[in-house]
Copies of this chain bind each other. A is one copy, B any other.
Amino acid sequence: MDDGAARRGPVTLHDVARAAGVSYATASRALNGSERNVRPENAERVRAAADRLGYAPNRPAQAIARGSTSTIALVVSDVDDPYFSEIAGGVIDAAEDAGLIVTMAVADRSPGLELQIVRALRGHRPRAILVAGSRIDGSGTRDSLTEELAAYRRAGGRVALISQADLPFPTLAIDNFGGARRLAIELFRRGYRRYAIVHADETIRTSHERRTGFLQGLRDAGGTADGVASVPADFTRSGGHAAATRLAELARSGVEAAFVVNDVMAIGAMTGLRAAGVEPGAELAVAGFDDIDAAAHVHPALTSVRVPLRAIGRRALETALSRTDSGTVDIPVEVVLRASTPPR
């Protein structure tokens, strides 16, 4: 009755074959091969033996024999940020559907680290490498990253980027400029005339695009971009929170609405405002961008621009895997007006 289950080391296909009384090759076919060319009776015996022994095929071995793995590599800037974790959720979902597993690395918003990570990941021979995260202008890492990814692709790998326009790979481009522009128009229509924009460093592409889009929207709506107060802040919740001090002052001096370049910061700002004695929504309208899950669940519910994060994650995987080399995929966004920007 002892099939060797107590032996050290994993059960191998060899063990299974012996236990089932068939050849190595047959066992392989029964378990993983084309399924079609092995007598049902034998196949059954092999499967039974595998089960009994708790056999799990050695993936690295399969990978090397087949020349391709069943993993997807995902690089994000930060797992704790809902923006990225929602994207990651989408990728993981889609990967699971495709029988793939995802390895996740965190670049911590450092282009240098991001480069290192991609290099390391390449060695794992994933089916695809997905990189999510705002490009940082002038980091000097652009070319190396491109070269790294190009080498990977030359070797047969697939690549997709999320929100990193202008690298020569299939990219899911989020319409930051257009979304912010339309948000501005809607806000203007609701009656707001005096604005503040809370934004991050100008080298962060996303922040820059959203800010300029918003200003353009103001002009397009018939207003002016002059006199819009600019409040720089960290690209994090505490950044938003910290910016609230300044925002509270501005509110008291007549500013009516604040556009914060992402929801995480906006939520931080709302909390900070409340702490500073300014009621968000009532005394200062606040709008964000991304429409993360939490946006609809804060109080007042946050006006935002909906970015279909989970769908983007799924789509990124599909794009990478699809044979046809789609260039840039434009992801449409949509303004979502909520209670934090009541009509005035």
Contact = CB atoms under 8 A, between A and B. Distances in A.
A308 to B, nearest CB: 14
Contact of A299 (B6, B88, B123, B275): B275
Interface in A277-330: 293-294, 297-299
Nearest to A106: B92
A156 B10 contact: yes
A124 B59 contact: yes
A103 B104 contact: yes
A122 interface: yes
Contacts of A11: 155
A32 B251 CA distance: 60
B86 A80 contact: yes
B156 A9 contact: yes
A293 B268 CA distance: 11
A341 interface: no
A85 B92 contact: no
Contacts of A105: 92, 96, 101-102
A120 interface: yes
A36 interface: no
Interface in A231-267: 237-238, 241, 267
Contacts of A89: 78-80, 106
A63 B106 CA distance: 23
A79 B91 CA distance: 11
Copies in the complex: 2
Interface stretch (A50-58, A131-139, A180-188): A50-58
Contact of A82 (B10, B80, B122, B151): B80
A64 interface: yes
A152 to B, nearest CB: 8
Interface in A41-71: 54, 56-61, 63-64, 69, 71
B241 A268 contact: no
Contact of A64 (B9, B61, B71, B92): B61
Given A92-B104, A104-B104, A123 B293 contact: no
Contacts of A171: none
A119 interface: yes
15 contacts: A9-B155, A10-B156, A54-B148, A56-B120, A58-B123, A60-B61, A60-B64, A79-B89, A89-B106, A101-B103, A104-B104, A237-B294, A237-B297, A270-B299, A275-B299
Kindly list the 6 A-B residue pairs having the minimum CB-CB distance in the complex, ordered from nearest.
A10-B155, A60-B63, A60-B60, A56-B123, A274-B299, A54-B151
Given A59-B125, A88-B104, 16 more contacts: A8-B154, A10-B125, A56-B119, A59-B60, A60-B60, A60-B61, A60-B69, A61-B64, A79-B92, A85-B85, A92-B104, A96-B105, A102-B104, A103-B103, A271-B297, A271-B299
Interface of A: 5-6, 8-11, 54, 56-61, 63-64, 69, 71, 78-80, 82, 85-86, 88-89, 92-93, 96, 101-106, 119-125, 147-148, 151, 154-156, 237-238, 241, 267-268, 270-271, 274-275, 293-294, 297-299
